[in-house]
Structure 1
Amino acid sequence: MLTLVADLSFIPPLWLQIIIVAAWVSLILLIAWLVKRFATDEPEIVRKIVHIGTGNVILLAWWLDMPASVGITASIVASAITLLSYRFPILPAINSVGRQSLGTFFYAVSFGILVACFWYLRQPQYAVIGIMVMTWGDGLAALIGQKFGKHKYQVLGSQKSWEGSLTMTAVSYAVSNLILLGVEGNVWQSWVVSLAIALVATALEAVSFLGIDNLTVPLGTAALAFALIELLSF
Structure 2
Amino acid sequence: MFTSVPGLTSIPSLWLQITIVAVWVLLVLLIAWVVKRFANGEPEILRKIVHIGTGNVILLAWWLDVPASVGITASILASAVTLLSYRFPILPGINSVGRQSLGTFFYAVSVGILVAYFWHLQQPQYAAIGIMVMAWGDGLAALIGQRFGKHQYKIFGAQKSWEGSFTMALVSYLVSSLILLGVEGNTWQTWVVSLAVALVATGLEAVSFLGVDNLTVPLGSAALAFALFQLWPT
Q: Which TM class, normalised by the smaller chain length?
A: over 0.9
Amino acid at match of 2:103: G
Instruction: Name the residue aligned to 2:16.
Output: 16
Aligned-partner Cα distance in 1 for 2:16–2:47: 28
Instruction: Name the residue aligned to 1:127.
Output: 127
Q: Provide closer, same or farther for how the CA distance between residues 198 and 163 of structure 1 changes in structure 2, counting only shifts above 3 A.
A: same
Post-superposition CA distance 1:9-44 (Å, at most 9, x none): 332111001110111111110110110111124100
CA contact (8 A) 2:86 2:96 kept: no
Aligned-partner Cα distance in 2 for 1:202–1:226: 18
- Correspondences of 1:109-128 after superposition (within 5 Å): 109-128=109-128
Instruction: Name the residue aligned to 2:3.
Output: 5
Aligned-partner Cα distance in 1 for 2:79–2:169: 28
Aligned-partner Cα distance in 2 for 1:154–1:99: 21
CA contact (8 A) 1:46 1:94 kept: yes
Q: How far apart are residue 54 of structure 1 and its match? A: 0.5
CA contact (8 A) 1:28 1:50 kept: yes
Aligned to 2:3, the other structure's residue is in SS state coil
Q: How far apart are residue 4 of structure 1 and its match? A: 3.9
CA contact (8 A) 2:84 2:90 kept: yes
Post-superposition CA distance 1:157-189 (Å, at most 9, x none): 000000000000000000000001111110000
Q: How far apart are residue 6 of structure 1 and its match? A: 3.5
Aligned-partner Cα distance in 2 for 1:107–1:35: 22
CA contact (8 A) 1:6 1:65 kept: no
- Correspondences of 1:1-234 after superposition (within 5 Å): 4-7=2-5, 8-96=8-96, 99-233=99-233
Q: Provide closer, same or farther for how the CA distance between residues 193 and 97 of structure 1 changes in structure 2, counting only shifts above 3 A.
A: farther
Aligned-partner Cα distance in 1 for 2:208–2:91: 21
User: Which deviates more, 219-228 or 99-108?
Assistant: 99-108
Post-superposition CA distance 1:62-111 (Å, at most 9, x none): 00001000000000000000000001110121013995100000000000
Aligned to 1:166, the other structure's residue is in SS state helix
- The Cα RMSD (Å) is 1.3
User: Which deviates more, 96-105 or 156-165?
Assistant: 96-105
Q: Which runs of 4+ in 1 moved over 6 A?
A: none
Q: Provide closer, same or farther for how the CA distance between residues 232 and 97 of structure 1 changes in structure 2, counting only shifts above 3 A.
A: farther
Amino acid at match of 2:17: Q
Aligned-partner Cα distance in 2 for 1:171–1:98: 31
Amino acid at match of 1:30: L
Aligned to 2:154, the other structure's residue is in SS state strand
Post-superposition CA distance 1:137-173 (Å, at most 9, x none): 0000000001000000001000000000000000000
CA contact (8 A) 1:44 1:97 kept: no
CA contact (8 A) 2:72 2:112 kept: yes
Structure 2: which 5+ residue stretches go unaligned? none
Structure 1: which 5+ residue stretches go unaligned? none
